[in-house]
Amino acid sequence: MVGGISEGYYGIPKILRNKALELLPEELRDILIRAYKFKKERSKIEVLERE
């Protein structure tokens, strides 16, 4: 839980994120990448709704 909060607040350095993704099996890596893309798109929608 703390890792998720820290990630949201501080972000994750790209070098660390890329290394972690390399260690995951391809199927899990694809799921995680899709989740991040969804989150990114969802964040854009929320910003537009607030304006």
Task: Read off the pLDDT of each residue in 31-47 and give the average, rounded to a whole number.
Answer: 82
Task: Read off the pLDDT of each residue in 17-41 and give the average, rounded to a whole number.
Answer: 90
Burial zone of 32 (CB within 10 Å; 0-12 exposed, 13-18 middle, 19+ buried):
middle
Residue 45: what residue type?
A: I
Q: How far from 17 is each of 13, 46, 48, 50, CA to CA, in Å?
A: 6, 25, 28, 30
Q: How far from 42 is each of 23, 36, 47, 50, CA to CA, in Å?
A: 27, 10, 9, 13
* pTM for this model (two decimals): 0.59
